[in-house]
Amino acid sequence: MAKKWTAVILTTVIIALSCIPIGAESGQSITIEQAESYMLENNRTLKELKMSRQKALLSYTNSVRRAEDINPKGYSYTINDNIIEGFYGDHIAVNLTKQKELVPLQMKYNWETISSNYTLTKRQLLIDLRNTYSNLINAEISLKKLEANKDLALETYERAKSKYIQGLISEIEMEEMEYNNFNLMKQIDSAKRLKENYCRNLNLLIGTDIDIVYDMILFKEEYKGLQLKNVDYYISKALKERFEIVNIEKQIDLTQREIGILESFPQLIKNDKYTIEQYNNLIDKQSQLNLELEHIKNNIEQEIKKAYLDIKQSYSRLQNMRKSISIQKRKLEKLKKQYELGFVTGDALKAAESSINDLETQYDIEVFNFNTKLMKFNYAAGLGPAY
């Protein structure tokens, strides 16, 4: 009776191992270049920022045109061929001066900020895409390894089944194999679900059908080596170009210009309570911005130093992997000669070839991830985003 139930279980395991469904559309391939193209074409945030950038540019252009017609010093108009001229009071004059000299600069600041945000958002999306793609690559490789083990498990299972029926192995040994195979089945199922999830994450990011599960995830990228300049070069570059710094410097400049406009009306600063309060607030704001600027500069300097070290360490790991692969390939050539002479088995040769294939695959992944890090580092040493 026990053998009858074991046979039923054996059949169930074999069927399960042979056919684990994926509940999504499959049969497609993708490359990182295709994914980038889809994302940049479909991303709503980038489209909205592009429209905002155009509107901000129009507002800036209009503010410049309006400023050209403003005369803060006084007015002049003609009635019945009579020219009427006069001077504005300080309250009106200071507001008109701001409209002429400050507002266009504020509109330019808004336009440049939105333009920078567009670039930063685009770059961050590209980084997020490559990280998501890397996760998908690893999930795909893990799944393929498990599926390769499944094929071997099926062969082993069939042999064990025959031995069990012949009474050559015990029921305990058979049950242990059942457990191992059921466990493998669960691992494969979990790996497929994980791959599906990463495919969904990728599809959400690039704006394609969320249910697509890619059969081929192509990712091999060229290894171009590394030519780093001195770390001080990247620190200096970042301190000049990073958005966080440039943005605050522009705010400081605008604040100083507004302070200068108020200081050109000394009577208001001395006697008008509203102007005095406004002036003092601007002085405090400028002081706070300067402190914030120094804090951000210090943080960015430390960030670049750490990122620089991380890049060098990643490069060193790649170099070691290249050397290791080269050594293993030389060993494989020796093993092939030994195989031809009959000193090693075919299984040993296959195992060595499989090991090198795994190393080369892992190396390709490391190159992909290294290129992502290098992209992040170059971004961080420029406009941004942060590393």
pLDDT-wise least confident of 26-40, 247-261, 270-284, 323-337: 26-40
Distance, first Cα to last Cα, the chain: 65
pLDDT at 175 over 90: no
Q: How is residue 298 written in tokens?
A: 């210090």
The predicted pLDDT at position 25 comes to 57
> How confident is the model over 286-301, as a mean pLDDT?
98
Q: Which pair of structure tokens corresponds to residue 362?
A: 């892992």
What pLDDT band is residue 173 in, cutting at 50, 70 and 90?
confident
Q: What is the pLDDT of residue 379?
A: 97
CA–CA separation, 21 and 151 (whole Å) = 16
pLDDT tens for 30-88 read: 999 999 999 999 999 999 999 999 999 999 999 999 999 999 988 877 777 777 778 89
Q: What is the pLDDT of residue 354?
A: 87
Write out pLDDT tens, residues 114-169.
999 999 999 999 999 999 999 999 999 999 989 888 877 777 777 877 777 878 78
Q: What is the pLDDT of residue 151?
A: 76
- Cβ neighbors of 257 (< 8 A, separation 6 or more) are 101, 102, 105
For the stretch 353-367, pLDDT in tens is: 989 999 999 999 999
Nearest to 116 by CA among 316, 250, 270, 303: 250
Question: Of all residues in the chain, what percent carry a pLDDT higher than 70?
Answer: 93
Q: In this structure, how many other beta carbons lie within 10 angstroms of the beta carbon of residue 357? A: 10
- Contact, 350 vs 148, CB < 8 A? no
Q: Report residue 378 as tokens.
A: 């170059």
User: Above 60 in pLDDT, residue 236?
Assistant: yes
Own/partner long-range contacts of 370-375 (Cβ < 8 Å, ≥24 apart): 370/223, 370/314, 370/315, 370/318, 371/130, 371/221, 372/127, 372/130, 372/131, 372/134, 373/310, 373/311, 373/314, 374/226, 374/311, 375/126, 375/127, 375/130
User: So what's the pLDDT on residue 27?
Assistant: 59
Confidence of residue 26 (pLDDT cuts 50, 70, 90): low
State the pLDDT confidence band at 6, using cuts at 50, 70 and 90: very low
* Confidence bin at 10 (pLDDT 50/70/90): very low
What predicted TM-score, i.e. pTM, was given to this entire model?
Answer: 0.83
Residue 383, pLDDT above cutoff 60: yes
Strands 74-79 and 82-87: antiparallel
Whether 351 has a pLDDT exceeding 50, the answer reads yes
The pLDDT, as a whole number, for residue 76 is: 77
pLDDT above 50 for 315: yes
